[in-house]
């Protein structure tokens, strides 16, 4: 899939954006599989924030109109009965697009979530989401080069960040936000030394 989002990678620029009051939205999706063209989103979770703190939250399960594969239920604990009476993606997308506005999107391996988001936009006749984005996976590799792994769960445990229920969209979005803030704090401290 073509990439429609510019991924911000300059850590100093990210710190300047944050300090200038830029609005960020950490988001995550849970899906029926790994191929955006063939699979669909079953949950979106997001937290919007700036240097002044949390601004808003978004969280919804989505009826994929297909059975959720058992392996996905095993990972996410999202069942077919949980989504059976939930809105479909074509109802959720306008709400989510309105929620994110022109904020800077972030995720851990953000391209995965952006691919799904834009694939769903394409399938449902919406314009692509073109917000700037940042990948906490990439910046964690820069900030913590000696970490054994850079998976979100591992980093949350290593940095003592409360990760809530892993592999649930809203909790993973909050964990991503907290990881980003921790990276900013840790790298600022290093620059002062």
- What amino acid positions are annotated as catalytic residues? 167
Tokens standing for residue 101: 């506005």
Tell me how far apart the alpha carbons of residues 193 and 175 are, in angstroms, rounded to a whole number: 27
Q: Determine which helix (DSSP H) or strand (DSSP E) holds 7, and give its type and residue range.
A: strand 7-8
Cβ partners under 8 Å of residue 125, min gap 6: none
Whether 94 and 126 have beta carbons less than 8 Å apart is answered as: yes
For 17, phi and psi rounded to 5 degrees? -60, -45
For 66, phi and psi rounded to 5 degrees? -145, 155
Tell me how far apart the alpha carbons of residues 95 and 74 are, in angstroms, rounded to a whole number: 28
Tell me how far apart the alpha carbons of residues 56 and 140 are, in angstroms, rounded to a whole number: 25
Tell me how far apart the alpha carbons of residues 25 and 106 are, in angstroms, rounded to a whole number: 6
């Amino acid at each position: 899939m073509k990439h429609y989002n510019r991924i911000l990678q300059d850590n100093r620029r990210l710190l300047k954006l944050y300090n200038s009051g830029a609005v960020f939205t950490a988001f995550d999706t849970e899906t029926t599989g790994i191929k955006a063209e063939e699979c669909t989103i079953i949950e979106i979770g997001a937290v919007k924030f700036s240097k002044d703190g949390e601004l808003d939250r978004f969280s919804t399960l989505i009826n994929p109109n297909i059975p959720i594969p058992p392996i996905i239920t095993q990972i996410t604990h999202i069942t077919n009965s949980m989504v059976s009476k939930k809105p479909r993606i074509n109802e959720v997308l306008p709400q989510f697009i309105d929620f994110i506005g022109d904020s800077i999107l972030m995720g851990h391996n953000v391209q995965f979530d952006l691919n799904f988001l834009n694939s769903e936009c394409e399938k449902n006749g919406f314009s692509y989401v073109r917000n700037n984005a940042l990948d906490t996976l990439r910046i964690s590799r820069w900030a913590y080069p000696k970490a054994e792994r850079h998976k979100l769960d591992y980093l949350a445990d290593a940095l003592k960040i409360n990760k809530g229920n892993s592999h649930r969209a809203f909790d993973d979005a909050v964990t991503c936000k907290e990881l980003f803030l921790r990276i900013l704090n840790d790298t600022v401290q290093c620059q002062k030394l």
